Structure 1
């Protein structure tokens, strides 16, 4: 698995490769065709495009780039008809594209999925150069190699060419891909996106997949989507639905109608964002929670005084019910011997605590001190960023719906949560309560990203950008919130009540139909994420 992450080689199922080759071939019939496969892998696209009967006997030249010697050798042995020629280049595409002057009718394939941490310095440098060549300000620089493959492929297309790629679904979701999405709309007259209800790559559990087909010239222009319910029958009943390409919402909103998108944009644009109501920061990154976060029994065994640790919530499952981290809750965690105390050793001479010294040596026997983040510290066991607790916690990952939690204790949280500090005059209870309405939750579904298991995640900027209909609420309203979060039926009733109360405060003329539509939108987006 580590080797697969390093090479980014997740080979495309033949049924998808066959569909994609046939689909784009219908757009290329009637002329000699030059094809580029920038990451040929096992050769499935080379084989399928070479054997595609829709192209008849028109001349077809395929250039297949493959970094692996073994796979390149396999591609050279692929049998194709006489009118098809294959040139195999055993090279990293990042190097190849830098010198290539040829333009192609079609660039097709499944670019590697390699995160920044697995890229070489040379690859990172080339990726940055590619971004600069397109004058793109990609958020936080290079994140993954697939984006550079896509950009280079666009550059290598003819003026009437087509690019057809299998991409991670983060293409639709993440902020760093927005400049690329915008570029596609500028460079191509027609962009088709196919999404899937199923995981296409079983070995890549957390990542959904999309197919992107972009045509430089087309009689029917625009941005189009189609959802595939069963990828083994991907060719059945393909019906593309046009999407508003000028919408300010992420392309994950494609499942909504134009009227629904307009409603979300109209309302959310008139509400304060979370960043206007509070400040927030990522929770504590220990880089080894199992070592640094200990239970009451370990504290006693190591004879650690209370000024050497702080209470901490590791994950949202430790707050199983309701929306409050209370003193009763953390007392219960301690009594159940749950690891909920973070070692806080910065500035401490640990030599005064012999058993703690032995524990640190134990950590070194596990090679914890050799981890990347540990090596950046003055002392590997000094966890940085330990601060005061926050009145509110937001857990960045969720399943049913995001967890916004009042913190009545001095406990911190790990980076599974954001530490939220309401601004002057903003009541923490009201902030938490007002988060639970259909508009804010629907925008969380759109602005966040979701993974194969149905988990929703919001990055710091996505969280801060959410609209929130802030109002002062009373103690009784807040007390009712905890019970409503533990039951689907009660939660639906809560949202209906909150939608009417909170949204009417900002929009007195909002209709019952619009309130109902907001509830439908939220449910529709949640069902899409959870594949219901």
Structure 2
């Protein structure tokens, strides 16, 4: 490591320490580690013609980690020019002083309002600010959308983070046939707001490669996101183009890699399936959403207030008839099948109950004085339970959402476990409802009727769900730093179910009646 890079790292630590974590998060200021920056620059230079002079550009330069990496991996005489933008003087001014004896031109200002100059850069490398959309007000979003559409021909979704606008706005700053690398969260590959960014990558430039780092190897200690490097070339995509998808390891030595046809990518909503997936998701004639209403479990407003075990209920003298059984968190469910006793209670060690009554406060006062006294404690204090957002929107404030017990529940967040999957499907034979740490699968009427005639149908469904390949299921969800996977209700609804239907001949007449059979074979 040269002396300037050592000084830059010392400066970076000093400047980061001068800001709160909240301020840095709001502005998306997460510096690129030295080793990662050098890995990216080494790869980028390989994509340029041999010995071509480098015009370098970084629209979110910070203290200059990528420029420092360029100096470390490229001969000095090959670097013709280097330019960067930095919006925050807290970082920009000290960085200017650090690099004052080098060719780097740091411009203090907001890149999103800048105009391109000259022929553009042939090597654009950037770790853009990771600013979520809710930190951008409506006027900012409208201006960014307009400017980005003018710059690259694609209107970015209003739920996109700032990094999506940076990519589109940088388009006219690139030289013809120039190379760009974007170190960004991999979430764009699998969420709805990423659709327009993916359109830009497929239609306006040549998408060369997307390397996704193993989500358990978080690239930034203080940013819990899963990272990807997106490589593009500023030239229209060739006919029959294929994109290299790589995963894990390094850019030079990925753990997995596979070329995927651009025509396949245009039809695939979840790019996070690659390179592990062999082919695009088959468009389902019937999906799980045709068979189940899939909803998140109920949000109580304050679990510690509304959920108790039997001992706590008895100690407070509360009426058991005002409670309903509720499942505990998945760590208290060692088995994936919950059996019930003769009263419908789950046969598990940690039995919990949810305060769930629709009686008015006057009725409670007349019939259950102990419950009246307990509810009164929820109205006390500066941050009372009754004044919390969910509770104050209810009438009365202690009324819970209608979420009856579901025959199958699914954990919607989790990490891959040795010998297991990040998501668990649990067969629930009890009358226990579930909170919002679970997804709840309620059979549609025709499936419910079939199940009444043959209870084994639900077991067959459960067995099918647990046989789903982990990569397929993960590919329908999203992933965050540290290997945390998440599966939203709409993502599970879209999972193909033709193979499941083939196991359930009892449902064929009902499928035909509802037009689902024709939908499946059309």
Q: Is this a same-fold pair by TM over 0.5?
A: yes
Inter-partner Cα distance in structure 2 for 1:60 and 1:380: 66
CA contact (8 A) 1:222 1:243 kept: yes
Please, which of 248, 257, 261 is the counterpart of residue 279 of structure 2?
Answer: 261
Q: Does 1:273 align with 2:287?
A: yes
Q: 235-244 vs 97-106, which deviates more?
A: 235-244
Match of 1:98 in 2: 113
Q: How far apart, CA to CA, are the structure 2 residues paired with 1:307 and 1:210?
A: 52
Pick closer, same or farther for the CA change 1:251–1:290 going to 2, 3 Å. same
Normalised by the length of structure 2, the TM-score is 0.74
2:199 paired with 1:179: no
Indicate the SS of the match to 2:472: helix
Alignment partner of 1:290 is 2:290: no
Paired residue for 2:494?
Answer: 465
CA–CA distance in 1 between the matches of 2:144 and 2:390? 24
User: Does structure 1 retain, via aligned residues, the 8 Å contact 2:66–2:125?
Assistant: yes
C-alpha deviation, 1:184, in angstroms: 0.3
Q: 1:117-159 deviations in whole A, cap 9, x for unaligned?
A: 4445554454555676655474xx4153322322322354344
Q: Distance in 1 between matches of 2:58 and 2:440?
A: 46
Q: 1:114 to 1:301 in 2, by over 3 A?
A: farther
Aligned residue for 2:105? 86
What's the offset of the Cα at 1:186? 0.9
Contact 1:388 1:412 in 2 (8 A): yes
Aligned CA distance change for structure 1 residues 272 and 354 (closer, same or farther; 3 Å) = closer
Q: Give distance in 1, aligned partners of 2:142 and 2:396.
A: 30
Q: Which residue number in structure 2 is paired with residue 361 of structure 1?
A: 379
Aligned ranges for residues 203-218 of structure 1 at < 5 Å?
203-204=221-222, 206-217=224-235
**2:26 matches 1:6:** yes
Matched length: 454
Q: Of residues 323, 328, 332 in structure 2, which corresponds to 1:318? A: 332
1:245 to 262, 276, 286: 262
SS at match of 2:304: helix
Aligned-pair distance for 1:166?
Answer: 0.9
Deviates more, 1:178-187 or 1:33-42: 33-42
Question: Could you tell me whether the CA contact under 8 Å between 1:430 and 1:471 is conserved in 2?
Answer: no
Distance 1:209-1:301 versus aligned 2 partners, 3 A rule:
same
Q: How does 1:131-530 map to 2 (within 5 A)?
A: 134-136=153-155, 138=157, 141-154=158-171, 156-197=173-214, 199-201=217-219, 203-204=221-222, 206-217=224-235, 222-229=242-249, 231=250, 235=252, 241-247=258-264, 248-249=267-268, 250-256=270-276, 260-261=278-279, 265=281, 268-269=282-283, 272-306=286-320, 308-324=322-338, 326-327=340-341, 330=345, 332=347, 336=350, 339-344=352-357, 347-349=360-362, 352=365, 353-362=371-380, 364-366=381-383, 373=390, 377-378=393-394, 381-382=397-398, 385-398=401-414, 399=416, 400-401=420-421, 402-426=423-447, 427=451, 428-438=458-468, 441-468=470-497, 469-471=499-501
Partner in structure 2 of residue 37 of structure 1: 58
Task: For residue 274 of structure 1, report the CA deviation from its aligned partner.
Answer: 0.4
Secondary structure at 1:393 match in 2: strand
When normalised by structure 1's length, the TM-score is: 0.73
Judging changes above 3 Å, is the alpha-carbon distance between structure 1 residues 283 and 472 closer, same or farther for their aligned structure 2 residues? same
* Match of residue 44 from structure 2: 24
Q: Please state how far the C-alpha of 1:412 moved relative to its aligned partner.
A: 1.7
Name the CA shift for 1:472/1:216 in 2 (closer, same or farther; >3 Å). Answer: closer
Question: Aligned with 1:409: secondary structure?
Answer: coil
SS at 1:420's partner residue?
Answer: strand
CA distance in 2, matches of 1:463, 1:131: 32
Q: Where do 5+ consecutive residues of structure 2 fail to align?
A: 1-20, 366-370, 452-457, 505-519
Q: Per-residue displacement from partner, 1:356-390 (whole Å, max 9, x unpaired)?
A: 2342035x444556655556x15694455334333
Range with greater deviation from structure 2 (128-137 or 426-435): 128-137
Residues of 2 paired with 1:412 and 1:284: CA distance?
8
Please give the per-residue CA displacement for 1:13-69, whole angstroms capped at 9, x wherever unaligned: 1111122223323445666655442322232123333565346245303022232x2
Q: 1:406 to 1:189 in 2, by over 3 A?
A: same
CA RMSD of aligned residues (A): 3.7
SS in 1 for 2:246: strand
5 Å matches for 1:63-74? Answer: 63-67=84-88, 69-74=89-94
Deviations 1:264-314 (A, max 9, x none): x5xx44662101212222211234323332332333344433454332224
Label 1:433 to 1:137 Cα distance change in 2 as closer, same or farther (>3 A). farther
Secondary structure in 2 aligned to 1:56? Answer: helix
Partner of 2:12: none
Residue 239 and residue 202 in structure 1: after superposition, are their counterparts in 2 closer, same or farther (change >3 A)? closer
Contact 1:319 / 1:325 at 8 angstroms: preserved in 2?
no
Closer/same/farther in 2, CA of residues 282 and 438 from structure 1, 3 Å limit: closer
- SS in structure 2 opposite 1:413? coil
